[in-house]
Structure 1
Amino acid sequence: MYTEDDIRRLRWQSRRGMLELDVLFVPFVEEAFADLEEADQDRFVKLLDEEDQDLFVWLMEREVPADPDIQRIVRIILERVQPS
C-alpha cells in the first residue's frame, strides 16, 4: 500500500525534464495512481526506473516494451489520455 508520502515522492520522480513525459506522468500520479490496483501501482513504480529514451518511444507508441508488466502500465497510461 502506498502512503501519501510515497505518492508525493512518485510525483517528484515523475518529473523527468522531458515535456512529453512530464505531461503524462505527473497528472497520472496526481489523478489516477491512488485508484490503481496495487499490482499496477507497482508496475508504475517499475516503469519510473526505465530510461527516458525508452519511456518516450513506448509512450509515443513507436515501440512496444518487451516486459509484459511495462506493456500493461504503458497501456493504462495511454488509455487514460487517448479518446475512446
Structure 2
Amino acid sequence: MEFEKKRLSRLKWACRRGMLELDVLFMPFVDEAFEQLSYEDKVLFERLLTCDDPDLYAWFMGHQSCEDAELARMVQIILTRVKV
C-alpha cells in the first residue's frame, strides 16, 4: 500500500510538465480518472509520461500521430475524457 502511495506521488510530480497545454491535460486526468484505469493502463500512462514534451504536445494537439499504438490509445483515452 505504501508503495502505491509513493508511486502515485511520483506520478503526480511527473505530470507537472511546465507546459500549460500538457499540465491541463495530465493533472486533472491523474486526479480524477487514473484510479479507474486497469493496472495495465496505469503502467501505460506512466510510460507515456516518460516521453518528451515536444512529442506529447504534437500528439495531444493533433499535429502528429503517435507511432506506438499503445501510447496512441492512451492519448485517445485522455483526450476523450477531456472532451466529456
Name the residue aligned to 1:38: 39
How many positions carry a matched residue from both structures?
83
Tell me the TM-score normalised to structure 2 length.
0.92
Over the aligned positions, Cα root-mean-square deviation in angstroms equals: 1.5
In the alignment, residue 67 of structure 1 is paired with which amino acid? Answer: D
Q: Which whole-Å deviations, capped at 9, do the CAs of 1:26-63 have from their partners, x for residues lacking one?
A: 11111111110111111101100100000001011111
Partner residue, 1:23: 24
Counterpart residue number, 2:62: 61
Tell me which residue corresponds to 1:76.
77
Higher helix share: 2
- Long gaps (5+) in structure 2: none
Give the gaps of 5 or more residues in structure 1: none
- Give 1:4 deviation, angstroms: 2.2
Give the TM-score taking structure 1 as reference length: 0.92
Identity percentage over the alignment?
47
